[in-house]
């Protein structure tokens, strides 16, 4: 029962109606019998400053931040974590004593989810995408001691972050070079939104996939064509669902100081997607 004492959590994004975060967080809150509620807030880019101010004004305990605000929100915060600084993106804000602190739990969520399927140490990785989530994945992969990370994005302007950063393990290529680069990859990651909409094709032709190539797709709201193609040839694979759960669990800990029931969070999301 919501009361005047109920603490508010939420997520800022645009669009936001597709988000599954409210389902898993509210399921955890109910299971743990905590006096919180997690709400989705559709925040247009030109209203982000006002939305961040509202965290203080309305005494919101914390929020997640998703597309397209992960990078732009930083300038409105009082401080950010070391991982968020390195990544250049924030996906979690904690409000405490009037101060707003930014964190990046995508970093933890990706590492935790992929480590359950394959070790990335000493591996060659090819990734499509240069956005906020791609940055988190790139930094987490480098910290896990990969051999090399090759990145491609149709928007070459986004690669500026990787070219300017001191990342000797990273090579930036054009999308036209992907078919050649995938030949030497051990892990292939789609860190773009391609596949999020029903009926969308895979970001890469299935003829370039191999049984010994591990395929990771950050899209979580449906089984994408990329994952279907990987399963069809017997390649190891993982969707973004577990990453979503693990990054959400880390955010939950930062807000409440308590570990949520991860198994329940996964169960709720899988049931919803089915």
Q: Could you please report the per-residue DSSP string of 45-87? A: GGGHHHHHHHHHHTT--EEEE-TT-TTGGGGGSSEE-HHHHHH
Of the pLDDT bands very low, low, confident and very high (cuts 50, 70, 90), residue 164 is low
Helix H or strand E segment including 267 = helix 262-273
* Identical fold between 7-104+242-273 and 118-235: yes
Q: What percent of the chain has pLDDT over 90?
A: 84
Tell me the pLDDT of the chain averaged across its residues. 94
Give 165's DSSP letter.
Answer: S
Catalytic residue numbers read 70
What CA–CA distance (Å, rounded) separates 147 from 160? 21
Distance of CA 78 to the CA centre of its chain: 22
What's the fold here for domain 7-104+242-273?
Rossmann fold (3.40.50)
Residue spans of the domains in the chain: they are 7-104+242-273, 118-235
Q: Is 137 helix (H, G, I), strand (E, B) or coil?
A: helix
Cα–Cα distance list, 255 to 36, 85, 245 (Å): 10, 20, 15
Summarize pLDDT for 215-269 with one digit per residue, the tens.
999 998 889 999 999 999 999 999 999 999 999 999 999 999 999 999 999 999 9
What is the reported pLDDT for 65?
96
DSSP state of 182: G
Pick the CATH number of 118-235 from 3.40.50.300, 3.40.50.1220, 3.30.230.70, 3.40.50.720: 3.40.50.720
Report the range of poorest mean pLDDT among 55-59, 160-164, 176-180, 201-205.
Answer: 160-164
């Amino acid at each position: 029962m919501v009361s005047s004492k109920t603490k508010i959590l939420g997520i800022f994004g645009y669009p936001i109606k597709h988000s599954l975060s409210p389902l898993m967080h509210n399921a955890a809150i109910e299971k743990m019998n905590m006096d919180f509620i997690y709400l989705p807030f559709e925040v247009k880019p030109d209203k982000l400053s006002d939305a961040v101010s509202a965290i203080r004004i309305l005494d919101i305990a914390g929020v997640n931040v998703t597309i397209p605000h992960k990078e732009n929100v930083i300038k409105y915060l009082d401080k950010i974590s070391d991982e968020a600084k390195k990544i250049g993106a924030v996906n979690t804000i904690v409000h405490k004593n009037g101060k707003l602190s930014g964190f990046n739990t995508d970093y933890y969520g990706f590492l935790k989810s992929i480590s359950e399927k394959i070790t990335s140490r000493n591996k060659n990785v090819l990734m499509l995408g240069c956005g906020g989530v791609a940055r988190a994945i790139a930094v987490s992969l480098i910290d896990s001691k990969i051999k090399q990370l090759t990145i491609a994005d149709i928007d070459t302007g986004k690669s500026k972050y990787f070219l300017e950063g001191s990342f000797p393990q990273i090579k930036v290529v054009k999308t036209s070079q992907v078919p050649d680069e995938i030949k030497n990859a051990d892990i292939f990651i789609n860190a773009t939104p391609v596949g999020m909409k029903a009926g969308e094709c895979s970001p890469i032709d299935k003829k370039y996939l191999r049984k010994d190539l591990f395929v990771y797709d950050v899209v979580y709201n449906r089984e994408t064509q990329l994952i279907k193609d990987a399963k069809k040839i017997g390649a190891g694979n993982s969707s973004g669902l577990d990453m979503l759960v693990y990054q959400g669990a880390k955010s939950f800990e930062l807000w409440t100081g308590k570990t949520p029931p991860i198994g329940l969070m996964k169960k709720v999301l899988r049931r919803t997607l089915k």
